[in-house]
Amino acid sequence: MHIDLTGKTALVTGSTQGIGLAIAEGLGASGARVAVNGRSGERVQAAVAELTAKGLADVVGVAADVTTAEGVAQLTQQLPDVDILVNNLGIFGSIPAQEITDDEWRRYFEVNVLSAVRLIRTYLPGMTERGWGRMIQIASDSAIVIPEEMIHYGTSKTALLAVTRGFAKDAAGTGVTVNSVIAGPTHTGGVEDFVYQLVDKNLPWDEAQREFMIKYRPQSLLRRLIEPEEIANMVVYLSSEQSSATTGAAVRADGGYVDSILP
């Protein structure tokens, strides 16, 4: 399968590191013009430089806080139209269930859910008018298998699946597809920090990862953390012409973590 995104502009939120950066690289390597986004101008430019050094020909940086309406307005001034929107931005963290405050609940929904909703509302009309577009939300296995130590995070990702399905119906018949990717436990710097919150901080990384998977993610059929590039591969496919019959879906790239025979 040859995926060619030449002539398409893609925005990946939260793409200065980790999964978002891998997605930006994958889309750019397939020919798309890629907009890297983050709150810090310095980190955005560092990510742009990193991708450019890897041979990507058309990468731009857009520093804006998309968790606020003001930030989205700032972003759209710089990037008024996109063909591919990847809502990757998200926060996570371990908090005992009964200690999650109202403010934390609100913060997780503002960042993990409403930021995506705002950007979908912003860019969907233009995609619909042009008769083509791809909108992809990065969800999580935690949306389905709610972790005891991250109820607020899991619930926000469940809501993101519902947002995806609802907007796919809103875009029905327009040539725009709206999908979610259910990402499994993935190896990023933030996840390394999270792992060491739960296992012995003195363990070497390979041992810490193994203990984490056995104790906290035993459902994984991979028995290892997923690499960001493996999530990016799914996103690149869903961004392509070849995925035209897939919409309103929650597509799994979870290493078999979710115990289900459905996608």
Which residues make Cβ contacts (< 8 Å) with residue 49, sequence separation at least 6? Answer: none
Question: 153, 216, 237, 257: which one is catalytic?
Answer: 153
- Distance from C-alpha of 14 to C-alpha of 16, rounded to nearest angstrom: 6
CB 180 within 8 A of CB 251: yes
Distances (CA, A) of 8 to 31, 155, 177, 215, 237: 8, 33, 15, 43, 14
Q: How is residue 201 written in tokens?
A: 């901080």
Q: Which residue in 148, 145, 218, 217 sits closest to 185, CA to CA?
A: 217
CB 8 within 8 A of CB 33: yes
DSSP 16-69: SSHHHHHHHHHHHHTT-EEEEEES-HHHHHHHHHHHHHTT-S-EEEEE--TTSH
Q: Which residue in 172, 188, 6 sits closest to 84, CA to CA?
A: 6
Which residues make Cβ contacts (< 8 Å) with residue 59, sequence separation at least 6? Answer: 24, 28, 33, 34, 35, 36, 48, 51, 52
Residue 216 among the catalytic residues? no
Helices 115-130 + 69-78 axis angle, to 10 = 30
List residues with catalytic annotation: 153
